[in-house]
Amino acid sequence: MTEFSYIGKGRILVAPYDGTAGLRPVGNVSELKFSPGEEEKSIQDYQNSGGGKANSVRRVSGVEISMSLYDRIAENIALVTKGAATAVASGSATDEQHKGFHGQYISLDRHMTPTSIVVKDVTGVTTYVLNTDYTVDADGLIKILSTGAIGDGDTLKISYSYVAHNAVQALVNSGAEYRVVFVGLNEAQTDKPVTVTAHRLKFGAADSLDFIGDDFSPMAVKGEALKDSSITGAGLSQYFTVQQVEV
């Protein structure tokens, strides 16, 4: 038999299972693993000494799929947090209310490099003075100065402009299902093509989502291949299909 070992590289693409969008690449992924599980039903041989099994049945209990994503884009964050990603156009906020405490910071609701910041009292009549009543640091955080005219704990109305950005609302989309396609190469066999399709897949939440660290941080996520009853025909898998060139 010809030796056919495997080292895989390639692209992973995902699409909503309901067909509302096409496949999109998820970027750099260090691991893609399919782990079929089984449960066994067996009966012991009670008719003879020495034990052993008289019969057994093995049933597929599920297919777990795991992958580690490195591209920290909004769509991927939404994928691994059961969330929803939204593109927010540049714009402005008017009279956003916050409480100001002496020596403490205010983070604005759409805190993406805010500019043209105007801070007023709760009535909207008094406009406070930058670097006298409050400061704004390089991160866009507003610090209330105890030496200014803003009282400790006062309610403030803040207006500002913000740049275009993406926002992810986590844990709002627990029922999402996907189709996942791996289009890759077997590096150990002179880059012979390999394609794997998981027809219907539901992801769990990521094991962790690291925001501080000393190394590149993957988003490790697991999912389960579910039965796709729309696939019919003798010998066709309703879970996943592997295609590869071996000649």
| 162: amino acid identity, one letter | Y
Q: pLDDT tens, 210-239?
A: 999 999 999 999 999 999 999 999 999 999
Q: What is the pLDDT of residue 113?
A: 87
Alpha carbon distances (Å) from 83 to 109, 112, 152, 204, 229 = 18, 20, 37, 11, 26
Do β-strands 115-121 and 84-88 pair in parallel, antiparallel, or remain unpaired?
unpaired
Coil, strand or helix at 77: helix
Q: What confidence tens digit (pLDDT) does each residue in 50-67 have?
A: 889 999 998 888 899 999
**In this model, does residue 207 exceed pLDDT 90?**
no
**Can you tell me the distance from the alpha carbon of 239 to that of 131, in angstroms, rounded to the nearest whole number?**
62
- Say what the pLDDT of residue 25 is: 97
Over residues 152-182, the pLDDT tens digits come to 999 999 999 999 999 999 999 888 999 999 9
Question: Each residue of 180-192: pLDDT tens digit?
Answer: 999 999 999 999 9
pLDDT (0 to 100) of residue 175: 84
Q: What is the CA radius of gyration of the chain?
A: 28
Write down the H helix ranges in the chain.
74-80
Residue type, 203: F
Range 132-146 average pLDDT: 96
CA angle 13, 66, 173 (to 5 degrees): 70
The mean of the pLDDT values for the chain is 94
Confidence of residue 111 (pLDDT cuts 50, 70, 90): confident
Residue 1 has pLDDT above 70, yes or no: no
Write out pLDDT tens, residues 196-206: 999 999 999 99
Give the model's confidence band at 144: pLDDT under 50 very low, under 70 low, under 90 confident, else very high.
Answer: very high
